[in-house]
Amino acid sequence: MDLCDANVLVTGGSSGIGFETARTLIKAGARVAITGRDAVRLQAAAAELKAHAIQADVSVAADAQRMVDETVQAFGSLNVLINNAGFGSFAPLVELEVAEFRRLMDTNVFGAMLAGQAAARRFIAQGQGGNIINIASTAAQRGFANGTAYTASKFALGAMTECWRAELRIHDIRVMQVNPSEVVTGFQARMGRQQDADGTKLRAREIAHAIQAMLEMDDRGFIPELTVWATNPN
């Protein structure tokens, strides 16, 4: 697609990968709405990006529908959803708390489903195709110690991606998945972890670049899944 024709909704666009993706797509000519729950951070990000801000929690069904409605109101239509809002939580199985597992699934899985559903309904009603990019992770490809909740959420997102692709291709909707390995963002800090940003790790910019390339391919084709690794991380 030509990004000058793109009306985009980026969930979790107030920080990290979503923020950089919004910046990259706006620079390429797209109109972009970003969401987040923290109003102060969201407004600051939107002002910097010249994006449309929508305060919303993806795990709340009414918010997911409102995000799509407000994007259409602002831009006239919607043709790209970047399903990016998500967070991490890591604990060994023997210490894992069910409430925390559910909280993670509420955003990373149910939130992604609700946003995908609202966007897909809109795309079908418009009758002009559409694009959904689900931001999964290399944790959608293999399990590891302490990863029960997070890998389960990202494997589930990968499974939903395959199902949506099978259902929506007939409507000219391209359903794609991006699997970043570790990226320097606020992701680790939100878990109280320090991230070693030593200059070898991926930046959000590399992921945004991959997303731009996927969208810019002519609509007759699409990249179902794309994994991004750092070349030589420490």
Ligand X SMILES: NC(=O)c1ccc[n+]([C@@H]2O[C@H](COP(=O)([O-])OP(=O)(O)OC[C@H]3O[C@@H](n4cnc5c(N)ncnc54)[C@H](OP(=O)(O)O)[C@@H]3O)[C@@H](O)[C@H]2O)c1
- Which residues are known catalytic residues? 150
Q: What is the DSSP letter of 149?
A: H
The residue with its CB nearest to ligand X is 16
Q: What is the DSSP letter of 106?
A: I
Cβ burial of 214 (10 Å; 0-12, 13-18, 19+) is buried
Q: Are 34 and 42 in contact (CB under 8 A)?
A: yes
Q: Which lies closer to ligand X via its Cβ, residue 103 or residue 171? A: 103
Q: Which lies closer to ligand X via its Cβ, residue 88 or residue 130? A: 88
- Least separation in angstroms between residue 175's CB and ligand X is 16
Residues that bind ligand X (CB under 6 A): 11-12, 14-18, 35-38, 41, 57-59, 84-88, 107, 111, 135, 137, 180, 182-183, 185-187, 190
- Least separation in angstroms between residue 210's CB and ligand X is 12
- Cβ contacts of 71 within 8 Å, gap of 6 or more: 7, 8, 9, 33, 52, 54, 78
Q: Which lies closer to ligand X via its Cβ, residue 2 or residue 191? A: 191
Q: For 150, phi and psi rounded to 5 degrees?
A: -70, -45
Cβ burial of 98 (10 Å; 0-12, 13-18, 19+) is exposed
Count CA atoms within 13 Å of residue 31 on its CB side: 13
- Least separation in angstroms between residue 127's CB and ligand X is 28
- Least separation in angstroms between residue 24's CB and ligand X is 13
Q: Which lies closer to ligand X via its Cβ, residue 1 or residue 184? A: 184
Could you give the C-alpha distances from 113 to 40, 85, 188, 201, in angstroms and in order?
26, 11, 24, 30
Q: Which lies closer to ligand X via its Cβ, residue 5 or residue 143? A: 143
- Least separation in angstroms between residue 166's CB and ligand X is 23
d(CA 83, CA 96): 26
Count of other CB atoms within 10 angstroms of residue 48 = 11
